[in-house]
């Protein structure tokens, strides 16, 4: 799976995230981890975990961390969605 395939998968999510959140998700793909090898759910979960660790590592942080926290939550949610989709593909 390539970065572009991850972006295309994110493009298919409904409802679409607000523009500021989507920009943060895209930036996380560029900054945090290399492109996934093949397992989308694990990759998305790791992105969420990495963002959450960054937020937790700044206990005196304030509102400036809100977008990172929302992005962490979004990636965790998307990891479950991707896993559910993979499971439904294997059942078909």
CB 75 within 8 A of CB 45: yes
- Tell me the pLDDT tens digit for each residue of 56-76: 999 898 999 999 999 999 999
User: Model confidence over 25-57: pLDDT tens digits?
Assistant: 999 999 887 766 668 999 999 999 999 999 999
Q: What's the pTM value of the predicted model, to 2 decimals?
A: 0.88
Contact criterion met (CB below 8 Å) for 71 and 21: yes
Q: Measured between alpha carbons, how far is 24 from 29 in angstroms, rounded to an integer?
A: 9
CA angle 67, 83, 3 (to 5 degrees): 60
Question: How many CB atoms sit inside 10 A of residue 42's CB?
Answer: 14
């Amino acid at each position: 799976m390539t970065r572009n395939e991850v972006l295309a998968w994110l493009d298919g999510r409904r409802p679409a995230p607000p523009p500021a959140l989507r920009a943060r998700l895209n930036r996380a793909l560029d900054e945090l981890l290399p492109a996934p090898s093949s397992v989308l759910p694990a990759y998305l979960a790791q992105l969420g975990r990495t963002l959450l660790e960054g937020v937790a590592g700044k206990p005196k942080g304030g509102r400036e961390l809100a977008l990172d926290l929302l992005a962490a939550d979004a990636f965790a949610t998307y990891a479950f969605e991707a896993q559910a989709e993979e499971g439904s593909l294997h059942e078909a």
